[in-house]
Amino acid sequence: MKAVYPGRFDPVTYGHIDVIKRAREIFSQVIVLCAEEPEKNVVFSTKERVEMLREVTAKLSGVEVSSFSGLLVDWLAKNEIKVIVRGLRAVSDFEYEFQMALTNKRLYQGAETVFLMTDEEHFYFSSSVVKELARFGRCPKGFVPAPVERRLKEKYGFD
């Protein structure tokens, strides 16, 4: 069974990779979908985010990376996939994700959302924290894979 793990991934973190690996243990194929969000304030373009995702998941069998624009449910229906994987870190994540899961199910009959708790090792950080560290000149080593760290350094010039 195929599943989709959608997100902004700006940038991809070890927390995201953890969810991808664990989802792959459950599903035969995981499609990591990078959201094209031109109205959002993103650091990396969709192309850059897809490239980073492909680079850091290259050795994971059964993982594909793509991008989408518009509503996720429209992409799911077009591709005949009904399972959405979402990672949760805290109760605040659940509230938003629960609302989205119910909305998606209403818009696309049969859509199911599977929630995976983020491993405690990655529980406390997010892409936003990584970007803030980089923006203030701190290396996010340990939060992101080396290829992502390199790209953040190119953007922000930290040591």
Q: For 101-125, write each residue's pLDDT tens digit.
A: 999 999 999 899 999 998 888 777 8
Given 49, 86, 127, 151, which residue is catalytic?
A: 127
Cβ count within 10 A of residue 143: 22
Above 80 in pLDDT, residue 89? yes
146 inside domain = no
Instruction: State the burial class of residue 119 (Cβ atoms within 10 Å of its Cβ: 0-12, 13-18, 19+).
Output: middle
51 inside domain = yes
Rounded-to-integer distance, Cα 106 and Cα 129, Å: 33
127 among known catalytic residues: yes
40 among known catalytic residues: yes
131 inside domain = no
Q: What digits encode the pLDDT tens for the residues 33-79?
A: 999 977 678 999 999 999 999 999 999 999 999 999 999 999 999 99
88 inside domain = yes
82 among known catalytic residues: no
When computed from its CA atoms, the radius of gyration of the chain, rounded to whole angstroms, is 15
Given 16, 49, 122, 131, which residue is catalytic?
A: 16
How does the average pLDDT of the chain come out, rounded?
93
54 inside domain = yes
130 inside domain = no
Q: Which residues contact 6 (CB under 8 A, 6 or more apart)?
A: 33, 35, 68, 72, 84
Could you give phi then psi for residue 109, rounded to 5 degrees?
-50, 125
* Boundaries of domain holding 81: 2-124
**CATH code of the domain containing 78:** 3.40.50.620
65 inside domain = yes
> How many domains is the chain partitioned into structurally?
1
Given 21, 22, 89, 105, which residue is catalytic?
A: 89
Report the predicted TM-score, pTM, of the whole model to 2 decimal places: 0.93
Given 28, 40, 78, 141, which residue is catalytic?
A: 40
**Predicted local confidence at residue 118, as pLDDT:** 85
Q: Show the CA angle centred on residue 138, arms to residues 133 and 140, nearest 5°.
A: 65
Identify the three-state secondary structure at position 41.
coil
95 inside domain = yes
Above 70 in pLDDT, residue 154? yes
89 among known catalytic residues: yes
Q: What percent of the chain has pLDDT over 70?
A: 99
